Amino acid sequence: MTTPPGLDADSLNATLEFGNAPRLIDVRTPAEFETVHIPGSYNVPLDLLHEHRSEIIGHLSEEVVVVCRSGQRATTAEKALRESGLTNVHILDGGITAWQNKGFEVSRGTPRWDLERQVRLVAGLIVLVAVVASIVVPGLKWVAAVLGAGLTIAALTDTCAMGMALARLPYNRGPSCSADAVVAELARANTK
């Protein structure tokens, strides 16, 4: 099975304007989605997609384009959907960032920090506090070392445990984040 090439922002925009519009599945957190998203897209957070993909793919019969901030989470989602039997999946190359850089239409809501920025803040604060506190308690320097090792592993494996944990915080969640709400929204779209 070969993964189809990603879809660049120009091609997706042309498809949305002139062709049969694909189903846009945005796998960012509800907070990120609320901040900015492509009009007509559906928010299906990555962790929810993993847990309920068999229910979700039952409502995805047309072409599907997976969107995230830059492409990493979309790649993970695309793989999960393919493993569940969905073959008509594409990834928006460069994610919402590339879409916005091209100046294409977006819907905006309450601004919130994206997950990557939150990870940088939390990791930086942990290292800073551990190093400063190690002046008093020398063993705390190892907290910074462990975090550095964790970030290295995250880069090598292209995963982020801290990001997945932060995605579950109330700040990054929304009322429409349940599997039932997502499936109901996808089902309503199929009846239109």
What is the per-residue pLDDT across 58-112, written as a single tens digit (0 to 9) for each?
888 778 999 999 888 899 999 999 998 888 899 999 999 999 999 999 999 888 8
Q: Could you tell me which residues come within 8 angstroms of residue 9 by beta carbon, excluding any fewer than 6 positions away?
A: 92, 93, 94, 98, 99, 101, 102, 104
- CA–CA dist 173, 127 (Å, integer): 26
Average pLDDT over residues 162-179: 77
Amino acid identity, position 133:
A
Name the one residue in this structure whose structure tokens are 């990834």: 91
Residue 192 has pLDDT above 70, yes or no: no
Which tokens hold the place of 80?
Answer: 């999960």
Which tokens hold the place of 48?
Answer: 């929810």
The Cβ of residue 27 has, within 10 Å, a number of other Cβ atoms equal to: 29
Which tokens hold the place of 59?
Answer: 């409502």
Amino acid identity, position 76:
T
- Angle of helix 46-57 relative to helix 179-191, nearest 10 degrees? 50
Which tokens hold the place of 105?
Answer: 């239409």
The pLDDT of residue 178 is 74
Which tokens hold the place of 61?
Answer: 């019969």
- CA–CA dist 67, 95 (Å, integer): 5
Higher-confidence residue of 132 and 189: namely 132
Which tokens hold the place of 10?
Answer: 């120009």
* Closest among 106, 114, 59, 113 to 81, alpha carbons compared: 59
The pLDDT of residue 184 is 78
The pLDDT of residue 5 is 65
